[in-house]
């Protein structure tokens, strides 16, 4: 499920800080409390606690009170979101996207993905040898992800080249407003007058007239 732009902006703001990224990476392995995280990461406890509070307020981490072996209950933190964030940019390209994968409900898998999913579902983590099985599954999954990333990089290259060619044609258009409309159509794949009007803050009559004048470009 795609993130709303406001939520994506919040996560990007949280993750731009290298210390917070270190904390998030550590919490991806298992929950932890401020003193423990500070010792493991070689940071001050007050600094770690401050970042944890900031990330909890943003919804990136969650906390709960857990029993302590040495005394009072302590606040333990864990990641609260399962997300993928990508940012692609080039002279003719800018794509930012956040996806949530906390659930697989309704998602379709390739035949290979379906097979791996079935194998993973049979592993409880409680049987001897399960770690070895999981290691093999992770290796296959990481290899598949790497293949997809390589193909994605190639497709982004082609897309960027295509937009470069489109830019040469758009540069011949003198009106800045018309250029904005054309670029928006190319990026959003949508020629709906009402949505163009709202997204670009233009009157619908203006958008309609521009589309009429630009009809030859989109034949």
pLDDT of 219:
61
pTM score, two decimals? 0.79
- Encode pLDDT of 6-61 as tens digits: 999 999 999 999 999 999 999 999 999 999 999 999 999 999 999 999 999 999 99
Residue 61, strand partner residues? 79
Contact of 105 with 9, CB cutoff 8 Å: no
At 61, give phi and psi (nearest 5°): -125, 160
Say how many CA atoms lie within 13 Å of 59 toward its Cβ: 10
Contact 116, 140 (CB under 8 A): yes
Query: CA 67, CA 56: separation in Å to the nearest integer?
Result: 20
Tell me how crowded residue 60 is: count the other CB atoms within 10 A of its CB.
21
Mean pLDDT is lowest, of 18-27, 101-110, 118-127, 135-144, for: 101-110
């Amino acid at each position: 499920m795609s993130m709303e732009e406001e939520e994506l902006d919040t996560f990007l703001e949280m993750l731009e800080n290298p210390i917070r990224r270190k904390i998030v990476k550590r919490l991806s392995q298992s929950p932890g409390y401020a003193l423990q995280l500070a010792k493991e990461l070689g940071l001050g406890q007050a600094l770690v606690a401050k970042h944890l509070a900031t990330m909890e307020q943003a919804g990136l981490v969650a906390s709960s009170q857990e029993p302590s072996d040495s005394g009072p209950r302590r606040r333990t933190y864990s990641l609260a979101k399962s997300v993928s964030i990508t940012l692609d940019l080039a002279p003719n390209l800018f794509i930012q996207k956040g996806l949530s994968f906390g659930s697989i409900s309704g998602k379709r898998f390739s035949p290979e993905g379906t097979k791996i999913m079935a194998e993973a579902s049979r592993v409880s983590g409680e049987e001897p040898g399960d770690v070895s099985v999981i290691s093999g599954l992770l290796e296959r999954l990481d290899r598949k992800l790497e293949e997809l990333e390589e193909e994605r990089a190639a497709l982004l290259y082609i897309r960027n080249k295509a937009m470069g060619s489109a830019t040469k044609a758009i540069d011949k258009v003198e009106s800045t407003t018309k250029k904005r409309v054309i670029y928006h159509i190319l990026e959003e794949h949508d020629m709906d007058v009402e949505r163009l009007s709202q997204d670009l803050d233009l009157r619908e009559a203006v958008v309609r007239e521009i589309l009429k004048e630009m009809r030859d470009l989109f034949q």
